[in-house]
Amino acid sequence: MISLQIQIAIGTAISVAVRVLGLAVLAGAVTGTIAAGYRLYARETMPARLGVLVGLSAVAVWLNTVVALSQYVAPGTDPLALPVVLRNVLAFAASAGAADVGRRVGDRLAANSSVLTGARSVEGEVSPLVKAVGRVITVTLPATIGDVSGYEPVPEGTKEELAGATFVFPRGLTVAELRDRLETRLADDHGIGHVDCEIGTDGTVRNLSVGLRASGLGPRLAPDTSAVAIRADPAPGASPGDTVQLWHAGERVSTGELRDSTEEIATLALESGETPLESGEYRLVTLGVGTGAERSVRTLFRSVAREREVDASLAGTCVADWDGVVLAIEGARFEALPDSDRRLEKGEVVYALDQAATV
């Protein structure tokens, strides 16, 4: 009689152990699958508490289904009986541990998915993760912000506001992703069109240059000069910067500078009063070197000069106090190469070079 009871107890224990083990495997498999999908989608590890919750949810669904079916298959079964309660508690405890293990395994398998698929190389550039202490990445902009060549400069007030500013981003980003997030943030919050920055693996911004938009042809035109597109076919050896004569119907219309050309369309920089209005095809005659020296110098100064409006802090200062070479001052009239003792007035626009060596 005693041996029979022992056999029954052993059988019951084995049955409970098998059921608990099966539920633990179920929790681990479900959590591992969800953790792998979470890793592939969010590119970060699933939180431990969320993994345990997912595993226990799968076990709870299974046990509720079993209890619901037992009401019809075995009507006399009491779900609140002590053996049933102890078995369920053991199942939940084992499933919680198995869920955490499954979360770790699924995350590792998803992270090494390229190895599982037999890939021997990774296409494109692999960007390292940004090293961060804590749950966020803190990015501090440098104190000096430069201008991007070929783009309209950002106002000095905006650059002063951004100098030394701190931005916070979530951790787990690669260097490339952090750079994209920073560019998007500057574009949305400050209206900056182009950002050129260098970010280290520790999240430090080593170099930052900004610009509003790509500068077009207008800023590179000399005063009293207009750009016009005409239907013409320049000489095969002609290139942007050459001085050309514009002919139409056997008469010379104007002399200008070739800026760009395609198969049938040429863009010329001409004096504003000599812009052609006749329709039809024109002929271009390329002139020798030296005929457009004055135009070239004016265009060069226009393209490299830095434009700044005189505010209250600069009003009353002399040209000699300016940090750079002052080319011209535009106020009530346009004044080129002003005297060193010329005082600036509020509202005037100063065209200057940061370094004379630029020319």
9 and 106 share one domain: yes
Question: Domain containing 327: what range?
Answer: 305-358
Q: What is the pLDDT of residue 325?
A: 80
Could you give the CA distance from residue 74 to residue 66 in angstroms, rounded to a whole number? 11
Q: What is the pLDDT of residue 299?
A: 56
pLDDT higher than 50, residue 307: yes
Domain count, the chain: 4
Model confidence band, residue 197 (pLDDT cutoffs 50, 70, 90): confident
Last residue within a domain, chosen from 155, 186, 211: 211
From 142, 266, 250, 294, select the one nearest 205 (Cα to Cα). Answer: 142
Are 80 and 68 within 8 A, CB to CB? no
Asked whether residue 22 is assigned to any structural domain, the reply reads yes
How many helical (H) and strand (E) elements, i.e. helices and strands, does the chain have? 7, 14
pLDDT higher than 50, residue 357: no
25 and 70 share one domain: yes
User: 6-27, pLDDT tens digit by residue?
Assistant: 666 676 677 777 788 888 888 8
pLDDT higher than 80, residue 273: no
pLDDT above 70 covers what percent of the chain? 73
Residue 231 CB neighbours (<10 A): 11
Asked whether residue 123 is assigned to any structural domain, the reply reads no
Asked whether residue 245 is assigned to any structural domain, the reply reads yes
User: 145-189, pLDDT tens digit by residue?
Assistant: 888 876 778 888 888 888 888 888 887 788 888 888 888 888 888
289-321 burial: b if 16+ Cβ within 10 Å, else e? eeebeebeebbebbeebeebebeeebeeeebee
> What is the reported pTM?
0.34
The per-residue pLDDT of the chain, averaged, comes to: 75
Asked whether residue 280 is assigned to any structural domain, the reply reads yes
79 and 171 share one domain: no
pLDDT higher than 70, residue 353: yes
183 and 148 share one domain: yes
Q: What is the pLDDT of residue 284?
A: 80
User: 75-94, pLDDT tens digit by residue?
Assistant: 555 656 676 777 778 878 88
Cα–Cα–Cα angle for 336, 338, 344, rounded to 5 degrees: 110
Q: What is the pLDDT of residue 71?
A: 58
From 44, 208, 207, 201, select the one nearest 132 (Cα to Cα). Answer: 201
Asked whether residue 170 is assigned to any structural domain, the reply reads yes
Are 304 and 283 within 8 A, CB to CB? no
Q: What is the CATH number of the domain that holds 275?
A: 2.40.30
Q: Structure tokens of 181?
A: 């997030």
From 222, 304, 234, 237, select the one nearest 269 (Cα to Cα). Answer: 222
User: 119-150, pLDDT tens digit by residue?
Assistant: 444 444 445 555 655 567 888 888 888 888 76
Model confidence band, residue 289 (pLDDT cutoffs 50, 70, 90): low
222 and 207 share one domain: no
Q: What is the pLDDT of residue 134?
A: 56
Q: What is the pLDDT of residue 126?
A: 46
Q: What is the pLDDT of residue 274?
A: 63
Asked whether residue 129 is assigned to any structural domain, the reply reads no
43 and 89 share one domain: yes
Phi, psi of 144 (to 5 degrees): -115, 125
Q: What is the pLDDT of residue 355?
A: 53
pLDDT above 90 covers what percent of the chain? 0
Could you give the CA distance from residue 214 to residue 302 in angstroms, rounded to a whole number? 16
